[in-house]
Structure 1
Amino acid sequence: MDDELPYIDEHVVRVDAPRERVWAALQRYTTSLLRSGERNPLFVLLGPQPRAGFAVTERIEQRRISLSGRHRFSRYRLVFELTDGPGGATLVHAHSYGAFPGIHGRVYRALVIGTRLHVVATTHMLRGIRADTVTGPGPDQPGRQ
């Protein structure tokens, strides 16, 4: 994926758990995200590559997972980074990058970025990772004790 995508924004959530637990939750979340994207009916319109909308393009154990993709109206990258927070907490950062070429790309950017839908979606992702860190995987997910 193009490493020169323009920066969009960063969102951060504090998780009161050690990095190992947060990393496990982040991996489960990204795996789930990749699976659920394949069933999203909106993707028929967008025509994403890969089909799930994202592919893992970088994984640095307990530090970073980068997801990249493209569709008819944009090229994008979402980078989750883990850093140490105060009091043994872990901070989960979500860095977003994207290019929106042409008139259709500009309209798409206005719909997704301009309306703050992107902020809502990214915040939802971060909260999901935090919740999974606290509750752990469900009974049918790997890693359940």
Structure 2
Amino acid sequence: MTAHPVDDLPFVDEHRILTPAPVPAVWRALARQLAGSRQRGTVALARLLAATPHARSGTPLDQGATLPGFAVTAAVPGRLVRLTGRHRFSRYALVFTLVGRPDGTLVSARTYAEFPGPHGRLYRLLVIGSGGHRAVVRRMLRDIRRRAERDSPA
């Protein structure tokens, strides 16, 4: 799959996971993941970085909804959700796509971002270069898979 720019942002990376659950179960799991329980730290980080948006509003997978650090700028139920945001050191997008397959659902998370100026370059080194971003996204995908499998009929 070719990585295409989102809002003229450069491609950073893509991570995928296959779950045996059907697309509707995975979509619900993605919604629960985004509405997740780890929000106190996320809100604090969003405020520290002066992220826009910095608060939650609406329903997580509805276009126009916001999460700390992200706005839902595109949503196609069961297929795609695009989250975008910005803060002191970066402008970014995280795009989730779901593709139904005979053996389940392939979930993809693509990241696009720019890191302007010397502070942005340092931030990229700390977040992307350290492997921290990769670890967080992979954990998020594993959590989505676990939720979908747990909630999917056998």
Q: Deviations over 1:69-115 (max 9, x none)?
A: 11000001000000123x43100000000000000000000000111
**Aligned residue type for 2:80:** R
CA RMSD of aligned residues (A): 1.8
Confirm whether residue 42 of structure 1 aligns to residue 57 of structure 2.
no
Unaligned ranges ≥5, structure 1: 137-145
Write the letter of the residue equivalent to 2:22: P
> In the alignment, which of 68, 76, 96 is matched to residue 60 of structure 1?
76
TM-score (ref. length: structure 2): 0.80
Distance 1:37 1:80, change over 3 A: farther
Q: Aligned residue for 1:135?
A: 150
Deviations 1:30-87, CA, capped at 9 Å, x for gaps: 2337x816754333321110001111111101100111111000001000000123x4
Identical counterparts, % of pairs: 45
* Structure number having the greater helix percentage: 1
Instruction: Return the offset for 1:11.
Output: 0.2
Alignment partner of 1:31 is 2:35: yes
Partner of 2:9: 5
1:75 partner letter? R
Please tell me whether the aligned partners of residues 37 and 53 of structure 1 are also in contact (alpha carbons under 8 angstroms): no
User: Normalising by structure 1, what TM-score?
Assistant: 0.84
The alpha-carbon distance between structure 1 residues 15 and 21, as it changes in their structure 2 partners (threshold 3 A), is same
Equivalent of 1:126 in 138, 141, 149? 141
For residues 24 and 44 of structure 1, what CA distance do their matches in structure 2 show?
A: 28
Rounded Cα–Cα distance in structure 2 between residues aligned with 1:14 and 1:73: 32
Q: Distance in 2 between matches of 1:89 and 1:23?
A: 12
Match of 1:68, as an amino acid? T
> CA separation of 1:117/1:100 partners in 2, compared to 1, >3 Å: closer, same or farther?
same
